[in-house]
Amino acid sequence: MSEKPWTPAWIGLGANLGSPERQVATAIITLAQVPGVKMLRRSRYWRSKAIGPQPQPDYCNAACAIETQLEPEALLNALLDLEDAAGRTRTQRWGPRVLDLDLLHMQGVLRATTRLTLPHPQISRRAFVLVPLAEVAPRLDIPGVGVVGERAADCDRSDLRLWLASAPPPAPATTADSIATPTSIPAPADGPTDGES
Ligand code: AMP
């Protein structure tokens, strides 16, 4: 029996309760261990001002590129399980959260159901999504969004800066650092190799 195909997909991560950087790092490690998921690269961690009800702590945001054998809905379920495992409760729209995982795009997949919209409808409005995503997939051309690197270059970054931890990184973050980052894997000169299309 032939192996299921591996489809490139891109995930946005955010957290603004507890230890945001730790939760994002742990989510990346845990996602990498989900059967049918290969972690390819992750962005740096970024700090963004929360949207929605105020006051709220700043968010730690990141993005990662994966390949997956999972169907889109199964991947969404895996992301929701990771949010639940992190202790997420859903009380207030746009409220603070211990972990938020968004399936931003899956190559070749369009969805508009009550459970899943692909590509994610908020990508082009949000610097905290576009800028990390551009670090892992600058040439990715998302239907309805455009080329991620170009959109990221044009977007308003006034509420976004690099996340600088005040304490030494926790143990899980050290492990997450072993996953390729934009600085450790330079973009190839002659075209994408990570499924960007
Ligand atoms: P939120 O956590 O507030 O971003 O919303 C989560 C809900 O959005 C989930 O229960 C999903 O059913 C729904 N949803 C629709 N499209 C997506 C997507 N592309 N990625 C993540 N959640 C999605």
Report the half-sphere exposure of 73 (CA within 13 A, side-chain side).
5
| 176 contacts: CB under 8 Å, gap ≥ 6 | 25, 26, 28, 29, 42
116 lines ligand 1 (CB under 6 A): yes
Residue 196 has a pLDDT of 59
Average per-residue pLDDT in the chain?
87
Token digits of residue 118:
């692909």
Q: What is the value of pTM for the model shown? A: 0.86
Q: Classify domain 7-167 at the CATH topology level.
A: Alpha-Beta Plaits (3.30.70)
Catalytic annotation present for 100:
yes
196 lines ligand 1 (CB under 6 A): no
Catalytic residue among 47, 102, 126, 194: 102
Q: Where are the domains of the chain?
A: 7-167
Residue 165 has a pLDDT of 60
**Nearest C-alpha neighbor of 27 from the set 88, 116, 72, 114:** 88
Ranges in the chain, pLDDT < 70: 1, 90-92, 165-180, 182-197
103 lines ligand 1 (CB under 6 A): yes
